[in-house]
Amino acid sequence: MFLVTGATGSLGRRIVRSLCRRGESVRAFVRLEARYADLEQLGAEIFIGDLCHRELIERALQGVRYVISAHGSGPGGNVSQVDYQANIDLIEAAQKQAVDHFVFVSVLGADRYYDDAPVFKAKREVEKYLSRHSLPYTILRPSGFASDLLARARNFERTGFYLLIGRKENRTSIVSTDDLSEIAIHCVSLPEARNRTFAVGGPESLRRDEIPCIFEKVFNRAGQILHLPIEVFDAARSLIGLVNPAIGRDLGTLRVLLANEYTCDPHEVQQVFSIELESLHHFLRRNLQFST
Ligand SMILES: NC(=O)c1ccc[n+]([C@@H]2O[C@H](COP(=O)([O-])OP(=O)(O)OC[C@H]3O[C@@H](n4cnc5c(N)ncnc54)[C@H](OP(=O)(O)O)[C@@H]3O)[C@@H](O)[C@H]2O)c1
């Protein structure tokens, strides 16, 4: 039995669907108000709860052999409770249950000590905690998810505009969320993935201003980039921080994402997981066709 947290998120949903299609038994940890009927229909066992409650985590772990931690606090969420403490509680409960493998979805750059980015710091601390345990694990550090660009692509199709904040020249290896889902599942059965950390990006190292060019190709229409220098973001963040210091701090994670390069060499992952990584263009064509 797999336990997947964040089962209604972009990544977790893909993992649960893929496990169900393979005939694996899977327990999806979901919140009551989330949309999970499709997962239930596919055969997933639904466990309703909030990851901020340790006793629920312990209950969800009963009879579980593999854990895939794919939840995240998201914008405005509680980083210390969700990104940090819930993972510590999951690791503790998994250790008690002697689960066979724990997969933790971290973030590319977690090891770069971005002091201003609460999510990166939380991920780094969880990584350290997990690697100190005797529990077999794999840490995946993905770059930005291609699925996060679907809404922006649809907006581009409608308006022709693409908002780009920060340096256009910065490079990013956007990863197909479907590839990442397959990699997360393979970790538990691949001896070469045991107790290792992998940076997971896509096959291309794209300049950020190449993304709207890919949208142009997908939709066969010309577009326009609306460019905002990072200084404008910083000024807005300072103002917001005066009114609401918590939101100002949270925006630190977004700033790190906007202001830095997110690239990694795809060869190691391609070799270890025997996977041909999908380009952003291919992911968008496939997903825009089928998603609603
Ligand atoms: N998106 C990216 O570009 C990116 C890049 C690198 C790493 N990551 C990491 O990859 C993981 C998955 O990201 P994602 O984009 O798929 O996330 P997502 O779409 O934002 O989904 C987050 C999931 O976590 C669940 N969740 C949040 N708080 C919860 C709580 N208190 N109790 C139970 N469930 C809770 C959400 O449930 P609801 O549906 O109820 O809200 C949702 O299922 C995260 O750890 C993220 O940090 C993401």
Burial of 160 (0-12, 13-18, 19+ CB in 10 A): middle
pTM comes to 0.95
Verify whether ligand 1 is closer than 6 Å to residue 51 (CB atom). Answer: yes
Which band of pLDDT confidence, cut at 50, 70 and 90, is reported for residue 290?
Answer: low
**CA 174 → CA 21, 92, 97, 268, distances in Å?**
25, 32, 35, 16
pLDDT in tens, 187-213: 999 999 999 999 999 999 999 999 999
Name the residue with the closest Cα to ligand 1, atom 8: 107
Report CA Rg, the chain: 19
For the CA of 10, the nearest atom of ligand 1: 16
Confirm whether 109 is domain-assigned: yes
d(CA 26, CA 70): 14
Verify whether ligand 1 is closer than 6 Å to residue 262 (CB atom). Answer: no
Confirm whether 241 is domain-assigned: no
- The answer to whether the beta carbons of residues 105 and 11 sit under 8 Å apart is yes
For the CA of 52, the nearest atom of ligand 1: 31
CA 181 to ligand 1 centroid distance, Å: 13
DSSP character at residue 277: P
Supply the pLDDT for residue 49: 97
AA letter at 291 = S
pLDDT in tens, 140-192: 999 999 999 999 999 999 999 999 999 999 999 999 999 999 999 999 999 99
Verify whether ligand 1 is closer than 6 Å to residue 60 (CB atom). Answer: no
Confirm whether 282 is domain-assigned: no
d(CA 14, CA 28): 11
- The DSSP H or E segment spanning 139 is strand 137-142
Name the residue with the closest Cα to ligand 1, atom 41: 34
Verify whether ligand 1 is closer than 6 Å to residue 202 (CB atom). Answer: no
Mean residue pLDDT across the chain: 94
Confirm whether 126 is domain-assigned: yes
pLDDT in tens, 263-286: 999 999 999 999 999 999 999 999
d(CA 181, CA 215): 23
Longest Cα separation, the chain: 56
In this structure, is the dihedral angle defined by the CA atoms of residues 266, 275, 108 and 124, taken in order, positive or negative?
A: negative
Confirm whether 185 is domain-assigned: yes
For the CA of 8, the nearest atom of ligand 1: 43
Residue 292: is its pLDDT beyond 60? no
- The answer to whether the beta carbons of residues 199 and 105 sit under 8 Å apart is no
pLDDT in tens, 15-65: 999 999 999 999 999 999 999 999 999 999 999 999 999 999 999 999 999
Verify whether ligand 1 is closer than 6 Å to residue 144 (CB atom). Answer: yes
CA 73 to ligand 1 centroid distance, Å: 6
What is the percentage of the chain residues whose pLDDT exceeds 70? Answer: 99
**Which residues span the domain enclosing 115?**
2-143+176-201+263-277
Confirm whether 167 is domain-assigned: no
Structurally, the chain folds into a number of domains equal to 1
Verify whether ligand 1 is closer than 6 Å to residue 206 (CB atom). Answer: no
**CATH number for the domain harbouring residue 193:** 3.40.50.720
Least confident of 57-61, 91-95, 158-162, 234-238: 234-238
Least confident of 168-177, 228-237, 246-255: 246-255
Confirm whether 166 is domain-assigned: no
Confirm whether 222 is domain-assigned: no
Supply the pLDDT for residue 113: 65
